[in-house]
Amino acid sequence: MKHKLLILYCWFIRTVLYFFPDIPIIMKFRGWLYSFVLKQCGRNFQVVHNVIINTPQCFVIGDNVRVGLFVRLNGGQYSECYIKDDVIIGQGTMISASNHEFNGKNYRDKKVTTKYITIINQGSWIGANCSITANSIVPAYSIIGANSCVTRRMENIEGALYGGVPAK
C-alpha cells in the first residue's frame, strides 16, 4: 500500500507542476517535493516537468543533481540506486535498478529480481537517450555518450568517455 501511495504522490507532483516552466527555481521546487519520498536527497535537486520516478524509496540523490526531459527512474522495491553529487542526466534516459531472470523457458514467468545496486558516481554526465541497467556502476567524472547502454560495472577510470551498446 505504501508503494502505491508513493507512486500517487510522484504522479501528483508531475501533474500539478506540469505546466510550470522549466526554470531553475521551479525545477528546484519539484526536486524539493520529491525529496520527501526519496530514500535520501541532497541540496539543489532539479527535476524538469515530465520526469517519471517509480519506486522513489530506493533512490539516494546527492547534491546538485539535474534530471532532464523524459527521464524515467525505475527502482526495484528492494534495490538501491545512488546518484552522487554534481550529476547531469540527459533527456530520454532510463535508469533501472531491477531486472528480469530467465527461468529456463522464458523471461516472462520469472519474478523481477530487485536485489541490485546501481551507482552513478560524482560529476558524471549521462547523455541523451541512454539506458543504465541494474547492477551498473558509472565511474566519477565520466561521460556516457548519447544513445549508449550501460550494462555492467565500468572500469574505474575517472573522467573517461563511454559509448556504444553496450558501453565501452
Number of C-beta neighbours around residue 18 at 10 A: 9
**Contact criterion met (CB below 8 Å) for 132 and 94:** yes
What residue ranges do the domains of the chain occupy?
2-153
Q: How confident is the model at residue 113 (pLDDT cuts 50, 70, 90)?
A: low
> pLDDT digits over 11-37, tens only?
999 999 999 999 999 999 999 999 999
Q: How confident is the model at residue 128 (pLDDT cuts 50, 70, 90)?
A: very high
Q: How confident is the model at residue 105 (pLDDT cuts 50, 70, 90)?
A: confident
pLDDT at 79: 80
Does the structure show a pLDDT above 90 at 154?
no
Does the structure show a pLDDT above 70 at 111?
no
Which CATH superfamily hosts domain 2-153?
Hexapeptide repeat proteins (2.160.10.10)
DSSP state, residue 153:
B
C-alpha 129: how far from its chain's center? 12
**Contact criterion met (CB below 8 Å) for 6 and 33:** no
